[in-house]
């Protein structure tokens, strides 16, 4: 912590009334219908921040400038019109882009490229800052093993380690590499959400309870938040849900003992929207004063949009239900972040031009690395430029659905549809569209071509918050389209625009090739065309398992060993040992993705096969080296993945855990050595006593293209 900053905070606290302190812990929506009331509250020092809604400037610079003027007018009320002149902080859901839209967060996880993700969020922060946004409610880093949950599309997938790396990348992208850099224009505060276990909602139902043991909470759901804290994230958002009977909003163990004391988080915690008031609905608070007291005493610093703190905390302090020292600590945390953002020196929204062509190029690259080639029988892909094909499905000209959920300030004229992309990348290609909605189809109008492309997807209203679904199978109309495509007797390529993993078993066999194209933002169409015609070699990998059928959910790769062989994720495709009516293996496993070239792994070795516990605790690491050769005819990026199994432990451990990955470009015939390091962080886990530490013993290390990696060696902690 900065000593000078803490002195300034002490000075401010000594001047503040209880009401003004509570005001710093109150965030409210920028509602034009309440503008008079809001401005009065600002002058009284009763607001600490704003929750900003949709701008929808859509490239209208005049509208954007009016918005900046409005933001500055509200800030002026706080800085020049209030007694102490404390600036407010403007926050918004800037989830995967602002004017330029990047792939959905789950799709960005599929890049397995934290450096690229960091670059995307750095550019996003610059655009958002131009509109007066100082604080983004991202990254959402909830581990999710249930694709029925609508918000899995906003997260990082099923894996704690991948989530930890992506969380840190987004934080660095928004905030810069150091807290000191927050003062620079174009850097904004990040918010790690939703702390914690929101992705474990029972049945995939949004806002529902989570039944999670402390062991699972710490080893599965905590690592991404630990990664965000290590990267210096300045705010954390608590989740709505209860965990085993305790709402997170009122849990001192989770918010203070674990997050602040144990992990060392020194920013502030903000509630999710109106979550403090909802403690009454959850049945643990009888009234607003109860709710405010429970939340603040638990360590929840800022109340988002419910006004429960402002309406009730004064009474709670007067009655001794909340100590003023507790109130002061929460205010200190909020003021600390405002000082770090430089708001006391320069609180105004200003515009700095951005390079739109450069931003679009990065978005195109990110979309290209997000898309996953699931199937390519006979090497049907890539297509030759100028070839003709028949098109079926509704997503060929679609733009709005391609940007994905939580995109409000995009510029629609900058969004590239599949049609736009094909015209740009292969202008001589003719696309013959045919009806696909009936049980019978007419003769193929594209005489002479041998390809049918089926472009199907899921709309935005079926993804995101409060948008869970019960069935992951494609709709009957979509399945009918695929069956009709097959009737032409030609090769069928599926281009699937979904934000979440879908259950593909009923239709997968009807495709000769499949590109899982997600919802990849502004440059979806151009990135897809780059892959279809071979300008980009696909390198995306699945961040969540694709199930065969909905009934397999939850299905995830890093499961523990069981007492009997009842989970066949890694087993043979045999019935009876898992379900009586379905295989236990996934449709496609975690980490999976094909390329237009082939790679050969060889010479896997540990540079030192054993280390003592003292060496590990002192920072020594195992170095695991492998050689990867491009044995195909085109260059491409290969994502080598390193998995670990703790052979014998005091608690049951996963059969495999991702503990390293490296994405490298390799030319045809070229061989590169990739080195993974495994140290205390990678080989430790939280024990029953909540201590994060390694144990002595043997570990099996696997290296390969996905979680099915079989090449292995053994290392040992002595």
The residues assigned a catalytic role are: 272
User: How many whole angstroms separate alpha carbon 625 and alpha carbon 642?
Assistant: 10
Query: Got the DSSP string for 95-127?
Result: -SBSSSBPPPHHHHHTT--HHHHHHHHHHHHHH
Determine how many CB atoms are found less than 10 A away from the CB of residue 215: 15
Nearest Cα to Cα of residue 622 among 600, 640, 644:
644
User: How many whole angstroms separate alpha carbon 225 and alpha carbon 233?
Assistant: 9
CA distances from 694 to 252, 281, 560, 675 (A): 27, 42, 17, 21
Burial of residue 358 (CB within 10 Å: 0-12, 13-18, 19+) is exposed
User: How many whole angstroms separate alpha carbon 535 and alpha carbon 211?
Assistant: 47
Helix (H, G, I), strand (E, B) or coil at 32: helix
Tokens of 163: 């989530």
Query: Got the DSSP string for 509-564?
Result: TT-SEEEE----GGGHHHHHHHHHTTSS------SS-B-SSGGG-S--S-PBP-SS
Tokens of 52: 């900003």
DSSP state of 487: T
Query: Got the DSSP string for 203-270?
Result: GG-TT--B---HHHIIIIISHHHHHHHHTT--EEEEPS-EETTEEGGG-HIIIIIIIIIIS---SEEE
Q: 554 preceded by cis ω (within 30°)? A: yes
* Pair type for strands 692-693 and 685-686: antiparallel
Q: What are phi and psi of 432, to 5 degrees?
A: -100, 115
Q: 130 preceded by cis ω (within 30°)? A: no
CB of 239 closer than 8 Å to CB of 195: yes
């Amino acid at each position: 912590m900065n000593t000078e900053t803490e002195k300034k905070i002490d000075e401010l606290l000594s001047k503040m009334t209880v009401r003004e302190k509570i005001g710093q812990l109150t965030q409210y929506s920028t509602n034009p219908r309440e503008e008079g009331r809001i401005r009065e509250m600002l002058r009284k020092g009763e607001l600490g921040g704003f929750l900003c809604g949709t701008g929808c400037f859509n490239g209208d610079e005049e509208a954007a400038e009016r918005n900046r003027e409005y933001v500055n007018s509200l800030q002026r009320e706080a800085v020049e019109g209030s007694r102490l002149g404390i600036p407010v902080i403007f926050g918004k859901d800037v989830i995967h882009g602002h004017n330029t839209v990047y792939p959905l967060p789950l799709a960005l996880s599929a890049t397995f490229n934290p450096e690229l993700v960091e670059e995307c969020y750095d550019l996003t922060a610059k655009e958002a800052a131009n509109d007066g946004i100082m604080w983004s409610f991202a990254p959402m880093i909830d581990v999710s093993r249930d694709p029925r949950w609508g918000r899995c599309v906003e997260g990082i997938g099923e894996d704690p380690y991948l989530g930890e790396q992506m969380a840190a990348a987004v934080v660095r992208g928004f905030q810069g590499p150091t807290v000191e850099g927050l003062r620079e224009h174009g850097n904004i505060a990040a918010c790690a959400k939703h702390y914690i276990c929101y992705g474990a909602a029972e049945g995939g139902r949004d806002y529902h309870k989570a039944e999670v043991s402390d062991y699972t909470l710490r080893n599965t759901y905590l690592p991404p938040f630990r990664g965000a804290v290590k990267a210096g994230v300045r705010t954390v958002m608590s989740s709505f849900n209860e965990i085993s009977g305790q709402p997170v909003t009122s849990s001192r163990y989770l918010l203070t003992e674990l997050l602040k004391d144990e992990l060392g988080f020194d920013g502030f915690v903000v509630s999710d929207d109106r979550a403090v008031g909802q403690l009454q609905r959850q049945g643990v608070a009888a009234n607003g004063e109860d709710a405010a007291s429970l939340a603040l005493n638990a360590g929840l610093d800022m109340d988002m949009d419910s006004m429960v703190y402002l309406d009730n905390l004064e009474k709670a302090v007067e009655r001794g239900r909340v100590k003023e020292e507790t109130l002061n600590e929460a205010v200190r945390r909020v003021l600390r972040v405002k000082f770090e953002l430089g708001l006391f020196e320069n609180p105004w929204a200003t515009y700095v031009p951005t390079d739109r062509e450069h931003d679009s190029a990065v978005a195109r690259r990110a979309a290209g690395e997000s898309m996953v080639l699931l199937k390519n029988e006979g090497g049907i892909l890539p297509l030759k430029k100028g070839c003709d094909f028949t098109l079926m499905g509704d997503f060929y000209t679609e733009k709005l659905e391609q940007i994905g959920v939580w995109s409000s300030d995009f510029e629609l004229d900058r969004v590239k549809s599949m049609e736009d992309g094909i015209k740009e990348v292969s202008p001589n290609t003719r696309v013959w569209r045919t009806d696909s909605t009936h049980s019978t189809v007419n003769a193929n109008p594209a005489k002479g071509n041998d390809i049918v492309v089926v472009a199907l997807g899921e709309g935005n209203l079926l993804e995101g918050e409060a948008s869970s679904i019960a069935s992951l199978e494609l709709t009957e109309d979509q399945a009918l389209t695929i069956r009709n495509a097959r009737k032409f007797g030609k090769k069928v390529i599926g281009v699937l625009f979904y934000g979440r993993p879908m259950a593909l078993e009923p239709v997968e066999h009807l495709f000769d090739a499949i590109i899982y194209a997600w919802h990849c933002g502004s440059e979806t169409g151009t990135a897809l065309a780059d892959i279809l015609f071979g300008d980009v070699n696909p390198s995306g990998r699945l961040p969540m398992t694709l199930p065969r059928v909905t009934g397999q959910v939850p299905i995830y790769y890093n499961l523990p060993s069981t007492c009997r062989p009842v989970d066949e994720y890694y087993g043979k495709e045999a019935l009876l040992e898992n379900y009586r009516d379905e295989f236990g293996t996934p449709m496609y496993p975690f980490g999976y993705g094909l390329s237009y070239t082939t790679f050969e792994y060889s010479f896997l070795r540990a540079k030192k096969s054993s280390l003592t516990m003292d060496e590990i605790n002192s920072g020594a690491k195992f170095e695991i080296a492998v050689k990867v050769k491009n044995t195909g005819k085109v260059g491409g990026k290969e994502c080598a993945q390193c998995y670990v199994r703790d052979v014998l432990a005091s608690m049951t451990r996963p059969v495999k855990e991702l503990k390293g990955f490296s994405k490298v470009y390799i030319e045809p015939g070229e061989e590169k050595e990739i080195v993974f390091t495994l140290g205390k962080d990678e080989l430790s886990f939280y024990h029953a006593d909540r201590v994060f530490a390694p144990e002595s013993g043997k570990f099996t290390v696997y290296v390969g293209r996905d979680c099915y990696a079989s090449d292995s060696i053994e290392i040992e902690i002595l």
